[in-house]
A and B are shown apart, each in its own frame.
Chain A
Amino acid sequence: MRVDLGGIRMKNPVTVASGTFGYGAEYAKLVDVTRLGAITVKGIRLQPWSGNPLPRHVEVPGGMVNAIGLQGPGVEGFARDYMPFLRTTGVPVIVNIWGTSEEEYAEVARRLSEVEGVSGLELNISCPNVKEGGNAFGTDPRAVSSLVATVRRATRLPLMPKLAPNVPDIKLFVRAAQEAGADALALINTLPAMVIDIETRRPILANKVGGLSGPAIHPVAVKLVWEAAQVARVPLLAMGGIVGPDEAIEFLIAGASAVAVGTANFIDPTTPLRVLEGIEAYLRRHGMNSVAALTGSLCMTNPATNVEP
């Protein structure tokens, strides 16, 4: 079940999506986090950040729309308050990082490179909930290329940009990121969304708009992963609407090397482990001896990814 996600050595292909699992400790009493392939933590910038006003979420059919706004403790706070527990898990820690300038991203990467136990960086270039940073970088291939190159120079940690789904051609972004030095790619982030209270005629979220997650976005994510896989030379971490093994297996078939469970953690925190067991059972049932055998195995006349088995 081992997977090498661009240098992040996972004992199995299942992690959690940034922002849905806190810093690992929050869920540790409910689920055996040591069984995860990796723990991906909530977005971190250089300094502590307070996020958006409330309400920060609203439930919608098939998922939810959130606008948390990347509240976080900053690099120092994260290293001090959260890394000690994460180190005890023995599981690779992927830190989602963001900033409002290329320099900030690079500085966060530089500092996290010196923190023991950090296994890789997920570059958040696609959060729909902060004006600067996030999506401002993620929807322009030249900005992605420049940002990834800058961060690349700041760290030797595996670098995994998280791509925005709301772009006309995902392949441009895959190429831009990998040519600039990305070791892996994560997709997809939430889809920009809005919900209106028809009685007050006001947006429900204080931030007005947010990001849609949950089963509603899964087919969108599958299509984007499949397209990305056609040009990707680096492994893909897929996420978006996984609620059980089936959605995860779909992602692997579409071309992903690993998967992340997001919103479903809120409903059933054991989802990542159910997904893991389901993938294992599927591989056995189909006589496959590795996750890599499943990756990109979609039966169509399109090239599979170049992931090493």
Chain B
Amino acid sequence: MMKDVTCRVIGQVPLTAGYWALDMEAPGLAEAAQPGQFVHVRVPGLEPIALRRPFSIFGAGGTTLKLLYKTVGRGTAQMNRLAPGDSVQVIGPLGNGFPLAPQGEPLLVAGGYGVAPLAFLAERLPTKGVVLIGGRTADDVLAVAAFERLGWIVRVATQDGSLGETGLVTVPLDRELARLREAGVTPELFSCGPDGLLRAVGERAIQAGCRGWLSLDKHMVCGVGACLACVQRLRREDGTEWIGRVCRDGPVFEAREIVW
């Protein structure tokens, strides 16, 4: 059940260059948060008016809410100024998260800060598996240690070769899918990242005949389904198409639902 909560900043720590983890006390919100859901943050200091910013939930434990963000614009630059004790209005948890009872062996595919909801998912899934993390450079590869601490096998690919293997994350993905196929294991894909990555992961899920859960990253305004700014063309099981709202009908969709 979504709420508009006054959160108190616990603190924030730098991860890699440009990326930060922000912890807040979010009573009434953090307890209800599910992996894949997001929160809509009213960043203080952007007055007189600025739209809220949506962020995937990076983690939640007790009343603590964890967000991961990259400083990309004036909103995230202002977030970076938040200090312990500061108040922040946060609406959440919003949207539909990932299913937590996979039918196959979980295989997580992250692109850049798309790792955020997958790190939370890794904590909550009943079985461990492999997580593939892709980024342009080593700085875009986050949360490796967190996955490893939970017992996940991490494989990294960077486009410039500064960490892990060189190339797109779809290269280790194809290798991993081939390995599972040979072993006779049905995978279940979970992914978050740029549209190009999600599309590639979705195509592979359909080819492999397995489920693929994709968390879409779209610019949002209201976050609750009222404004229709973050729509996505979708397909029902009977083949008919409709226009859904990523914030309310997603942000997680099964690969076959999305009409790219």
Cβ of A266 and Cβ of B91 under 8 Å apart? no
Cβ of B226 and Cβ of A27 under 8 Å apart? yes
CB-CB under 8 A from B227, the residues of chain A are 19-20, 22, 57, 66, 68, 266
B89, CB-defined interface residue at 8 Å? yes
User: Which of B89, B221, B224, B227 is most buried by chain A, counting CB atoms within 10 A of its CB?
Assistant: B227
CB-CB under 8 A from A71, the residues of chain B are 228, 231, 243
Cβ of B51 and Cβ of A266 under 8 Å apart? yes
A51 to B248, CA, bound (A): 18
Task: Scan A131-152; emit 1 where CB is below 8 A from any B CB, else 0.
Answer: 0000000000000000000000
Cβ of A51 and Cβ of B243 under 8 Å apart? yes
Provide the main secondary structure of the chain B interface: loop
Q: How large is the interface on A (under 10, 10 to 19, 20 to 34, 35 or more residues)?
A: 20 to 34
A235, CB-defined interface residue at 8 Å? no
Cβ of B42 and Cβ of A268 under 8 Å apart? yes
A264 to B49, CA, bound (A): 8
A266 to B243, CA, bound (A): 21
Cβ of B228 and Cβ of A68 under 8 Å apart? yes
B139, CB-defined interface residue at 8 Å? no
| B110 → chain A closest CB, angstroms | 23
B: number of interface residues (CB 8 Å): 26
A22 to B245, CA, bound (A): 12
Provide the main secondary structure of the chain A interface: loop
CB-CB under 8 A from B50, the residues of chain A are 59, 267
A29, CB-defined interface residue at 8 Å? yes
Cβ of A266 and Cβ of B52 under 8 Å apart? yes
Cβ of A26 and Cβ of B225 under 8 Å apart? yes
Cβ of A267 and Cβ of B225 under 8 Å apart? no
Q: Which residues of A (18-55) have their CB < 8 Å from a CB of B? A: 19-22, 26-27, 29-30, 42, 50-51, 54-55
Q: Which residues of B (65-96) have their CB < 8 Å from a CB of A? A: 89, 91
B145, CB-defined interface residue at 8 Å? no
Cβ of B224 and Cβ of A215 under 8 Å apart? no
Q: Can you list 5 residue pairs at the A/B interface with Cβ under 8 Å?
A: A22-B222, A30-B3, A42-B226, A54-B231, A243-B48
Starting from the known contacts A19-B227, A215-B48, 10 additional A-B residue pairs (CB-CB under 8 Å) come to A22-B225, A29-B1, A62-B48, A62-B49, A68-B227, A214-B49, A266-B51, A267-B49, A268-B89, A269-B224
A positions within 8 Å CB-CB of B: 19-22, 26-27, 29-30, 42, 50-51, 54-57, 59, 62-64, 66, 68, 71, 214-215, 243, 263-270
